[in-house]
Amino acid sequence: KTLNRQLPPSPPKLPILGNLHQLGVLPHQSFRKLYQIYGPVMLFKFGRLPVVVISSAEAANEVLKVHDLDSCSRPSFTGVRKLSYNCSDLSFSPYGDYWREIRKICVLQLFSLNRVQSFQTIREEEIASLLNSISQSSSSVTPVDLSEKIYALAGSIILRIAFGQRFPGSVLDHDKFSELIHDAEALLGSLTADEMFPYVGWIIDKLTGYHTKLERVFHELDMFYEQAIGDHLKAERETNDEEDIIDVMLKIVRNKKTSEARFTEVHIKAILMDIFLAGVDTSAKTVVWAMAELARNPRAMNKAQDEVRNFFRKKGKVSEDDIDQLHYLKLIIKETLRLHPAVPLLLPRETISHFKVNGYDIYPKTIMQVNVWAIGRDPNYWKDPEEFYPERFMDNPTDFKGQNFEFLPFGSGRRSCPGINMGLKTVEVALANLLYEFNWKLPNGMKEEDINMEEAIGMSLTVSKKTALNLVPVKYL
Ligand code: HEM
């Protein structure tokens, strides 16, 4: 049988390194170039690890839908294992009963639409403080670092959603916490040399200090979570307080049904880690890219501002209750997610059983990456793919819910993003308010085409705009 096996095409490999030298700084871009030579199913070796990269909608449909069950586990790398409390979280838990249980808790109780709505006041307060801080700069001609402001907004919204109202900045050092989350993301995205190179890799890891850093970051984050959980256990809750994520999880631990028997305080910490690692950066990046695209495209910017201002003029401010009526804004968000999916290769999957894609054999324990970034810019599916043109989604049923395989910013299938409603709400509210409250001018002497749209890998799982977005806000009303 092995004689007849047909492996996917591979670019030439070097001894020991395999294909690592071909990855470049932006692997999703390197993979797209190689796709043009080797086709939509490619086999790589990262050191000793077999990695298959999928680059067409048809092949993505095969992997994520037809063979979802055969390919829905996750690889367990050293950094991931440590930071996820030995894979007790949702993102990196291997496929099985425990993952199913915890996924259900997340989808039905933690990230449900009702729960997302219950955090409306938090979003409103945090947005108000963002607008206020921008207004303070808007009397002058100095640009604001919009990237920084948007990251801070996404961070404080998620912090309050997770940790609740009782944790103002004085108790929890926000800057310290953000720095730790940033370090954790970098560790999460890197493979240790030991995983790629048997026998000798550990020497490289010792030289780079990977493990020491991992232990430190993990320990410090763990202490934050301990403190937050401890404070929740001690504090008496006012009955009319909105429940935060820790409250909900503590309730599950206390009153657990048999199906939730394995859920303990360690799992609370692991889920908190997921929420911070998966929920802040992704939403912030999407808002930054959208604002950068709009700043480059005054036509779309004006149209979006007319829409939101006409709609909310009577109220005098944006209200979350009616935000679903902003149709053009929704098209802008779709177009941004097509060109700039925050997780360009989705999270890595690990195959469980043998199956075939486009006639090629895929074996168990293979890492699968789907290049949704390349698919979203492929002229086979999109007219003028590099153009930012939100209208392409008008009267077009293509959506990002995981059924249209040419457009998968949230993934698809069993492992698709469960935080989609939470993430989208933050993105919508942030954008609507930024567009309503201010006109945005380019810094002195700069033209639309001068805006730097280069990408940078913050860590190897997500991609962001390389340089900060600096724009001059002019108060509109
Ligand atoms: C615009 C914002 C967001 C984007 C673009 C995004 C995108 C993604 C993507 C592409 C995946 C991998 C899907 C796959 O491998 O097929 C994912 C997984 C995940 N996301 Fe999101 N996400 C966003 C916001 C959030 C938020 C706000 C949360 C939680 C608060 C969250 C929690 C998760 C978790 C826990 C997983 C892993 C699910 C599993 O393995 O079962 N995400 N997300």
DSSP codes of every residue in 30-80: HHHHHHHHH-SEEEEEETTEEEEEE-SHHHHHIIIIITTGGG-B----HHH
C-alpha distances (whole Å) from 321 to each of 314, 427, 447 are 14, 15, 36
Task: Confirm or reject: Cβ of 275 under 6 Å from ligand 1.
Answer: yes
Neighbours of 342 (CB within 10 A): 23
Task: Confirm or reject: Cβ of 287 under 6 Å from ligand 1.
Answer: no
Q: Which residue has the tokens 């871009």?
A: 29
Q: Which residue has the tokens 């256990």?
A: 233
With 0-12 / 13-18 / 19 or more C-beta atoms within 10 angstroms meaning exposed / middle / buried, residue 30 is middle
Percent of the chain as helix, strand, coil, to the nearest 5:
55, 10, 35
Task: Confirm or reject: Cβ of 115 under 6 Å from ligand 1.
Answer: no
* Ligand 1 atom nearest to CA at 372: 10
Choose one of 410, 462, 464 to mutate for the ligand 1 pocket test, by most ligand atoms within 8 angstroms of C-beta. 410
Q: What is the pLDDT along the chain (477 residues), one digit of tens a residue?
A: 556 789 999 998 887 777 877 877 788 999 999 999 999 999 999 888 899 999 999 999 999 999 999 999 998 887 788 888 988 999 989 999 999 999 999 999 999 999 999 999 999 999 999 999 998 877 667 899 999 899 889 988 998 998 886 554 445 567 777 788 878 877 776 666 566 665 556 666 666 667 788 888 888 889 888 888 888 888 766 555 678 999 999 998 888 776 666 788 899 999 999 998 889 989 999 999 999 999 999 999 999 999 999 999 999 999 999 999 999 999 999 999 999 999 999 999 999 999 999 999 999 999 999 999 999 999 999 999 999 999 999 999 999 999 999 999 999 999 999 999 999 999 999 999 999 999 999 998 899 999 999 988 654 466 777 888 999 998 887
| 130 Cβ contact list (under 8 Å, min separation 6) | 149, 152, 153, 430, 433
The rounded Å distance from CA 337 to ligand 1 centre is: 13
Task: Confirm or reject: Cβ of 89 under 6 Å from ligand 1.
Answer: no
The rounded Å distance from CA 411 to ligand 1 centre is: 8
| 128 Cβ contact list (under 8 Å, min separation 6) | none
CA quadruple 232, 102, 76, 7: dihedral, nearest 10: -160
pLDDT at 285: 93
pLDDT at 461: 60
Can you give the pTM of this predicted structure?
A: 0.93
- Give Cα 243 to chain centroid, integer Å: 24
Task: Confirm or reject: Cβ of 342 under 6 Å from ligand 1.
Answer: yes
In total, the chain counts a number of residues equal to 477
- To the question of whether residue 417 is assigned a binding role by annotation, the answer is yes
Task: Confirm or reject: Cβ of 286 under 6 Å from ligand 1.
Answer: yes
Task: Confirm or reject: Cβ of 288 under 6 Å from ligand 1.
Answer: no
pLDDT at 65: 98
Alpha-carbon gap, residue 304 to 93, rounded angstroms: 40
Task: Confirm or reject: Cβ of 282 under 6 Å from ligand 1.
Answer: yes
Task: Confirm or reject: Cβ of 402 under 6 Å from ligand 1.
Answer: no
The rounded Å distance from CA 465 to ligand 1 centre is: 19
pLDDT at 173: 67
* Ligand 1 atom nearest to CA at 158: 30
* Ligand 1 atom nearest to CA at 161: 30
Q: Which residue has the tokens 């075939």?
A: 356
Closest CA to 105 of 273, 278, 261: 261
Task: Confirm or reject: Cβ of 112 under 6 Å from ligand 1.
Answer: no
Closest CA to 457 of 53, 12, 31: 31
Answer yes or no: are the C-beta atoms of 474 and 439 closer than 8 Å.
yes
Instruction: Judge if ipTM > 0.95.
Output: yes
Choose one of 72, 333, 417, 425 to mutate for the ligand 1 pocket test, by most ligand atoms within 8 angstroms of C-beta. 417
Task: Confirm or reject: Cβ of 336 under 6 Å from ligand 1.
Answer: no
With 0-12 / 13-18 / 19 or more C-beta atoms within 10 angstroms meaning exposed / middle / buried, residue 215 is exposed
Instruction: Look at ligand 1, atom 16, and give the residue with the nearest C-alpha.
Output: 411
Neighbours of 441 (CB within 10 A): 14
Q: Which amino acid is at 333?
A: I
C-alpha distances (whole Å) from 355 to each of 54, 67, 69, 360 are 14, 7, 11, 8
The rounded Å distance from CA 99 to ligand 1 centre is: 15
Alpha-carbon gap, residue 354 to 270, rounded angstroms: 31
Count helices and strands (H / E) in the chain.
17, 11
